């Protein structure tokens, strides 16, 4: 058996095309586009490259996009004041603060200052609570888990009644995706198990998964014999395992032994080109949703 590849790169294209249509509709109906501000503090190369990608995607969709760059030594009070300014700006529907922040600034205090209705990253405790309640309450889902769920749905994987095993219990991936898959609704209704470093028999849990979601950050953690034949495997892990001397780029691997897993799984996401491209896409989707919500009030 050779697994069907669930390509994040392809699904990203589909979703961006849908969003482009939505942005046009929003502009026609309300006279303004979705507005997103991306706040970057300092000049870490990794943060600059993430922000650049987000800004480029937002502009390509026709958003009103502000890249607000602030110096490394901005005070916490000034950053809080900046967030308050965007909380009160009717043209802005999504506020994004690129992490990590410099050490003199309390990340939590900053993220908690964002109006939860403009928190398109969905890290605010109010949005974490809303996600837990589910249904209409869950306005924004955090972007990586939302991308995972979208890939599962768009690949035609049955989730209702499925055994889902999530490897990892982080606040940004493992816990939220586990909650989302267990909720009532489309792309959910699953029976979910979360496993982690204290789990007694990781292999036994993975083996019974109809949908195996792996977010551990350990290259080749999941062995081929842990995979149930025909199952759907979502590999969230992004591990730098070396450097390509010709291109100078990092060689990336997931948490699953991909080549061997392809012979057993029914569907599988590659690394790179799997979950990775979905995160920014879902950020854009959350911003469009937020714009509709704010502009229709």
Q: Is 212 helix (H, G, I), strand (E, B) or coil?
A: strand
Cα–Cα distance, 201 to 183 (Å, whole number): 26
The minimum distance between CB 167 and ligand NAP, in angstroms, equals 5
Q: Is 1 exposed, middle or buried (0-12, 13-18, 19+ CB in 10 A)?
A: exposed
Q: What is the token pair recorded at 28?
A: 């026609």
Q: For ligand NAP, give the closer residue by CB, 33 or 274.
A: 274
- The contacts of residue 155 (CB under 8 Å, 6+ apart) are 4, 6, 232, 267
The minimum distance between CB 241 and ligand NAP, in angstroms, equals 11
Catalytic residue status for 98: yes
Q: Is 159 helix (H, G, I), strand (E, B) or coil?
A: coil
Q: For ligand NAP, give the closer residue by CB, 81 or 241.
A: 241
Q: For ligand NAP, give the closer residue by CB, 198 or 297.
A: 198
Strand locations in the chain (E): 4-5, 35-41, 64-70, 94-97, 163-167, 191-195, 211-214, 232-235, 239-243, 250-253, 267-268
The minimum distance between CB 178 and ligand NAP, in angstroms, equals 11
For 217, other C-beta atoms within 10 Å of its C-beta total: 15
Q: For ligand NAP, give the closer residue by CB, 83 or 227.
A: 227
Q: For ligand NAP, give the closer residue by CB, 79 or 234.
A: 234
Cα distances (angstroms) measured from residue 280 to each of 109, 119, 135, 241: 24, 14, 23, 24
Residue nearest ligand NAP, CB atom distance: 170
Catalytic residue status for 149: no
The minimum distance between CB 244 and ligand NAP, in angstroms, equals 19
The minimum distance between CB 173 and ligand NAP, in angstroms, equals 4
Given the residues 117, 118, 119, 121, the one annotated as active site: 121
Which residues lie near ligand NAP (CB under 6 A)? 144, 167-170, 172-174, 196-198, 202, 215-218, 221, 236-239, 275-276, 279
Kindly list the catalytic residues: 54, 98, 121
């Amino acid at each position: 058996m050779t697994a069907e590849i669930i390509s994040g790169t392809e699904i990203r294209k589909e979703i961006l095309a849908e969003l482009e249509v939505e942005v046009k509709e929003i502009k026609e109906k309300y006279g303004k586009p979705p507005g997103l501000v991306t706040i970057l503090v300092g000049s870490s190369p990794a943060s600059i490259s993430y922000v650049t990608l987000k800004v480029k995607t937002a502009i390509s969709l026709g958003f009103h996009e502000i890249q607000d760059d602030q110096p490394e030594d901005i005070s916490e009070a000034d950053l809080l004041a900046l967030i308050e300014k965007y909380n009160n700006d009717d043209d802005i529907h999504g506020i994004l603060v690129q992490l990590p922040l410099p050490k003199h600034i309390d990340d939590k205090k900053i993220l908690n200052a964002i109006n939860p209705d403009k928190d398109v990253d969905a890290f605010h405790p109010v949005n974490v609570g809303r996600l837990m309640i589910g249904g209409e309450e869950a306005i924004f889902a955090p972007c990586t888990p939302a991308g995972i769920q979208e890939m599962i749905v768009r690949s035609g994987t049955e989730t209702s009644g499925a055994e889902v095993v999530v490897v990892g219990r982080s606040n940004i991936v493992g816990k939220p995706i586990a909650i989302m898959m267990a909720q009532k609704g489309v792309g959910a209704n699953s029976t979910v198990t979360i496993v982690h470093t204290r789990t007694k028999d990781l292999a036994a849990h993975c083996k019974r998964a109809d949908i195996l979601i792996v977010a551990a950050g350990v290259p080749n953690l999941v062995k081929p014999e842990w995979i149930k034949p025909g199952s759907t495997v979502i590999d969230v892990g992004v591990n730098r395992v070396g450097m390509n001397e010709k291109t100078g780029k990092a060689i990336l691997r997931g948490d699953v032994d991909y080549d061997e897993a392809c012979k057993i799984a029914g569907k599988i996401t590659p690394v790179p080109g799997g979950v990775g491209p979905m995160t920014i896409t879902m950020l854009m989707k959350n911003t469009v949703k937020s714009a509709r919500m704010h502009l229709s009030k």
